[in-house]
């Protein structure tokens, strides 16, 4: 058999031997043509390719073991066994085969033909102009007439007559009645055999690898490159990148219209194996198409019980091939990281769909969040007011502030100093309502914008987005924008693609949630180490033992500021066991704050309302506790949501998903062993 380099030399040399020798005369345009003799060409080819037979002018396959070579009269128990036998012969010999025609009598196949894949004729490029599925494209000619042009392609068919004819011999036996061995085309070289279709198969391991890669948003082409690193070389893979891509295509076709049914069946299995810990609800239209889907897994339900006081609700991210809206419900965990409570897929962004998803949320979690933050979507507002009437509905500040440039003017906002002055009153959490209103009006008067229509509209709805109106709301300052939801959308975008089916989407979604849970466990493990303190105060040492590391650094910042930036302004006023202090804070332009402390109950309250807004004490409270020699944080000010291992310690709902976890772990262990 010829190598690839020999075949190249063979091709060039054949061209040289068959070149036309032209002899022209000066008086006319007649040409004299001489061709190389056929026997010289055949002798030349035979010197390059040992499978070529000069006597027959055909290529004869060479195999390592003659036992795999068919012969006339050979008997097989069935057709499929013969096909596999002939395929193995082709694999070793360097050619592909395919099943051809057959003859049937009384329901029994009496004749069956297996032929070389290059057998048969190739249709001309314009033989099926009327075929709408052909690769023809319309192009405009210079005459203005549309002309059909076919994409440049090659054909493998060259009327090769190599074949095996199988005849039914009775008694459930088939006999080779005719075997044509020679081929009229070169056979695959040693290096080229890996590209034969018979040698390109995707194993179960490779299929598992492609699916695992898809969970991390790695496509089939990149998965092929990664698998090469595992296998050692492209030759050892046994399949091309196109084969990987075609397998993914076939999976999508297999899922087809059963996509939603497969996903709902998966949800049903998860519910049954998790002791009802996994919950889902869905609705379909009159045609049976999935229109709404809501689900909440066990980690999400347990997280909501501890961290569900504030929820970000955003519906701006569209994913999957059906264009459904992905709606994650996001909160903040004890490490100040985003946590996903539940998710939904909706076919439309309207009040009916949002009302339904809020109803399902309340049905599953049995308790409404204290505060919900969304953008200025009117449909969301209708749904939240209807389903969560007692919850605080807050608009995203960032979305509103982004509109200032368009509404007021980009040049004016950038150069006039208007935004710098207004931001001091809009974003500050330490201003009272009256201080904000005075500041807003003074800035608008200064720049002559008191009659601006859009600014007046924003001022009328100030109670829904200005921090000053949320100072006394529990966890009212925990979220001021929907950036948690948007960052989560960005996070999920690393795992899913817009062309994914529902089944593919959920597989990638599970992978994203697994990473979120893994990062949480990693942070929990990091809390075993106690961070260093920067003061000698016992109250700081206790805080280092109680809070997660992230939250401790926030509390530590307040303790440090109480030592260096707070001073007492005048003598305290004592009445009914309560001492009232007026303290000055250098950090906020010498602003004064009022702190009340009860030495009988250790109750402490500050006018900055930091504990109410975010759940940990402010610098002003720590200063006054220091004046009274309090060395431990009063227990009523230890918010459980910020403590170490908060979910394990304070979550009362326990669900069992042992069966599902065991199955998943078994699959992972098997994959590790096979991969490596």
Is position 138 within any domain? no
Question: Tens digits of per-residue pLDDT, 134-173?
Answer: 454 555 545 555 555 666 677 778 889 899 999 998 888 8
Is position 241 within any domain? yes
Contact yes or no for 210/223 (Cβ under 8 A): yes
410, containing H or E segment: helix 410-415
Q: How far is Cα 604 from Cα 622, in angstroms, rounded to an integer?
A: 9
Which ranges of 528-574 would DSSP assign to H, the alpha helix? 538-546, 549-564
3-class secondary structure, 496: coil
Residue 234: predicted pLDDT: 78
Question: Tens digits of per-residue pLDDT, 470-486?
Answer: 988 888 888 877 666 55
Contact yes or no for 311/329 (Cβ under 8 A): yes
Contact yes or no for 324/345 (Cβ under 8 A): yes
Same-domain pairing of 188 and 80: yes
Residue 16: predicted pLDDT: 39
Residues 6+ apart with CB under 8 A from 270: 278, 297, 660
Same-domain pairing of 429 and 573: no
Same-domain pairing of 440 and 363: no
Give 7-28 as a DSSP string: HHHHHHHHHHHHPPEEEE-SS-
Q: How far is Cα 212 from Cα 490, in angstroms, rounded to an integer?
A: 21
Residue 273: predicted pLDDT: 87
Same-domain pairing of 230 and 252: yes
Same-domain pairing of 246 and 364: no
Same-domain pairing of 64 and 161: yes
Would you say residue 363 has pLDDT above 60? yes
Q: How far is Cα 408 from Cα 449, in angstroms, rounded to an integer?
A: 9
Is position 148 within any domain? no
Same-domain pairing of 359 and 505: yes
Residue 532: predicted pLDDT: 93
Q: Output the CA angle 666-668-673, nearest 5 degrees.
A: 95
Same-domain pairing of 312 and 362: yes
Residue 498: predicted pLDDT: 60
Own/partner contacts of 267-274, CB < 8 Å, gap of 24 or more, are 267/295, 270/297, 270/660, 273/657, 273/659, 273/660, 274/298, 274/655, 274/656, 274/657, 274/660
pTM for this one?
0.69
Same-domain pairing of 354 and 488: yes
Residue 675: predicted pLDDT: 41
Question: pLDDT: is 70 or 5 the higher one?
Answer: 70
Q: How far is Cα 592 from Cα 601, in angstroms, rounded to an integer?
A: 25
Residue 489: predicted pLDDT: 55
Contact yes or no for 308/341 (Cβ under 8 A): yes
Residue 54: predicted pLDDT: 63
Would you say residue 274 has pLDDT above 50? yes
Would you say residue 460 has pLDDT above 90? yes
3-class secondary structure, 139: strand
Would you say residue 442 has pLDDT above 90? yes
CATH number for 336: 3.30.420.10
Q: How far is Cα 394 from Cα 430, in angstroms, rounded to an integer?
A: 18
Question: pLDDT: is 474 or 495 the higher one?
Answer: 474
Q: Lowest mean pLDDT: which of 251-265, 420-434, 584-598?
A: 251-265
Kindly state the average pLDDT of the residues 559-567.
94
Would you say residue 673 has pLDDT above 70? no
3-class secondary structure, 53: strand
Q: How far is Cα 101 from Cα 291, in angstroms, rounded to an integer?
A: 47
Is position 657 within any domain? no
Would you say residue 7 has pLDDT above 50? no
Is position 508 within any domain? yes
Residue 578: predicted pLDDT: 93
Same-domain pairing of 63 and 172: yes
Beta strands in 324-370 (DSSP E): 324-332, 338-346
Kindly state the average pLDDT of the residues 609-613.
93
Residue 409, domain extent? 399-470
The share of the chain scoring above pLDDT 70, in percent, equals: 79
Is position 510 within any domain? yes
Per-residue confidence at 24, pLDDT binned at 50, 70, 90? very low
Is position 499 within any domain? yes
Please give the mean pLDDT across all residues of the chain.
81
Is position 528 within any domain? no
Residue 48: predicted pLDDT: 46
Which ranges of 338-452 would DSSP assign to H, the alpha helix? 351-365, 378-387, 397-402, 404-408, 410-415, 418-426, 433-446
Same-domain pairing of 288 and 415: no
- Work out the number of other CB atoms within 10 angstroms of the CB of residue 259: 20
Q: Lowest mean pLDDT: which of 281-290, 489-498, 595-604?
A: 489-498
Would you say residue 44 has pLDDT above 60? no
Per-residue confidence at 174, pLDDT binned at 50, 70, 90? very high
Q: Which tokens hold the place of 77? A: 């128990």
For CA atoms 502, 506, 507, 512, give the dihedral sign.
positive
Same-domain pairing of 353 and 385: yes
Choose one of 470, 498, 528: the last residue of a domain: 470
534: β partners: none
Question: Tens digits of per-residue pLDDT, 76-104?
Answer: 999 999 999 998 898 888 898 899 999 99
């Amino acid at each position: 058999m010829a190598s690839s380099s020999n075949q190249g030399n063979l091709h060039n040399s054949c061209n040289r031997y068959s070149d036309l020798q032209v002899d022209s005369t000066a008086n006319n345009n007649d040409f004299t043509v001489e061709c190389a003799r056929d026997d010289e060409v055949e002798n030349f080819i035979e010197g390059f390719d040992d499978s070529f037979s000069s006597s027959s002018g055909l290529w004869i396959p060479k195999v390592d073991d003659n036992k795999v070579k068919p012969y006339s009269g050979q008997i097989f128990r069935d057709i499929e066994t013969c096909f596999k036998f002939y395929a193995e012969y082709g694999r070793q010999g360097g050619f592909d085969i395919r099943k051809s025609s057959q003859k049937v009598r009384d329901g029994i196949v009496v004749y069956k033909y297996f032929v070389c894949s290059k057998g048969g004729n190739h249709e001309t490029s314009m033989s099926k102009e009327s075929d709408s599925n052909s690769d023809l494209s319309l192009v405009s000619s210079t005459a203005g007439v549309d002309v059909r042009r076919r994409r440049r392609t090659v054909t493998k068919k060259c009327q090769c007559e190599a074949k095996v004819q199988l005849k039914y011999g009775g008694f459930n036996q088939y006999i080779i009645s005719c075997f044509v061995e020679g081929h009229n085309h070169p056979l695959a070289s040693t290096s080229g055999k890996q590209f034969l279709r018979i040698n390109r198969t995707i194993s179960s391991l490779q299929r598992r690898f492609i699916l695992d890669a898809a969970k991390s948003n790695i496509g089939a082409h990149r998965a092929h490159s990664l698998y090469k690193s595992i296998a050692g070389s492209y030759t050892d893979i046994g399949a091309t990148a196109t084969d990987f891509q075609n397998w993914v295509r076939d999976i999508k076709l297999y899922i087809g219209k059963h996509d939603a049914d497969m996903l709902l069946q998966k949800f049903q299995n998860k519910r049954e194996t998790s002791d009802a810990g996994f919950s889902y609800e869905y609705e379909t239209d009159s045609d049976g198409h999935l229109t709404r889907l809501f689900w909440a897994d066990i980690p999400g339900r347990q997280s909501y019980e501890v961290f569900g006081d504030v929820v970000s609700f955003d519906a701006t991210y569209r994913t999957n091939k059906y264009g459904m809206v992905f709606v994650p419900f996001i909160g903040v965990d004890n490490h100040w990281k985003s946590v996903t409570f539940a998710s939904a897929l909706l076919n439309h962004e309207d009040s009916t769909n949002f009302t339904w998803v809020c109803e399902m949320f309340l049905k599953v979690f049995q308790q409404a969040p204290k505060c919900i933050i969304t953008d200025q979507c009117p449909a969301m507002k209708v749904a939240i007011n209807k389903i969560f009437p007692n919850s605080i509905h807050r608009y995203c500040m960032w979305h509103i502030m982004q509109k200032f440039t368009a509404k007021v003017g980009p040049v004016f906002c950038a150069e006039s100093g208007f935004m710098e002055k207004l931001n001091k009153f809009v974003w500050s959490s330490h201003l009272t309502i009256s201080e904000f209103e005075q500041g807003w009006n003074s800035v608008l008067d200064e720049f002559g914008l008191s009659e601006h229509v859009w600014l007046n509209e924003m001022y009328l709805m100030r109670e829904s987005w200005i921090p000053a109106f949320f100072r006394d709301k529990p966890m009212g300052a925990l979220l001021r924008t929907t950036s948690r939801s948007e960052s989560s959308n960005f996070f999920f975008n690393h795992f899913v693609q817009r062309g994914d089916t529902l089944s593919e989407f959920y597989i990638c979604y599970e992978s994203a949630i697994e990473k979120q849970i893994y990062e949480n466990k990693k942070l929990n493990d990091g809390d075993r180490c106690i961070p260093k303190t920067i003061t000698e105060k016992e109250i700081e040492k206790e805080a280092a033992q109680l809070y997660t590391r992230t939250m401790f650094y926030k509390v530590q910042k307040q303790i440090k500021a109480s030592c260096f930036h707070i001073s007492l302004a005048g003598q305290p006023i004592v009445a009914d066991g309560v001492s009232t202090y007026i303290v000055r804070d250098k950090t906020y332009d010498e602003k004064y704050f009022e702190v009340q402390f009860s030495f009988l109950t250790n109750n402490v309250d500050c006018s900055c309302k930091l504990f109410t807004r975010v759940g940990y004490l402010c610098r002003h409270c720590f200063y006054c506790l220091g004046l009274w020699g309090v060395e431990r944080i009063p227990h009523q000010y230890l918010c459980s949501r910020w403590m170490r291992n908060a979910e394990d310690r304070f979550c009362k709902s326990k669900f069992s998903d042992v069966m599902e976890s065991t199955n998943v772990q078994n699959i992972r262990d098997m994959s590790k062993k096979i991969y490596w």
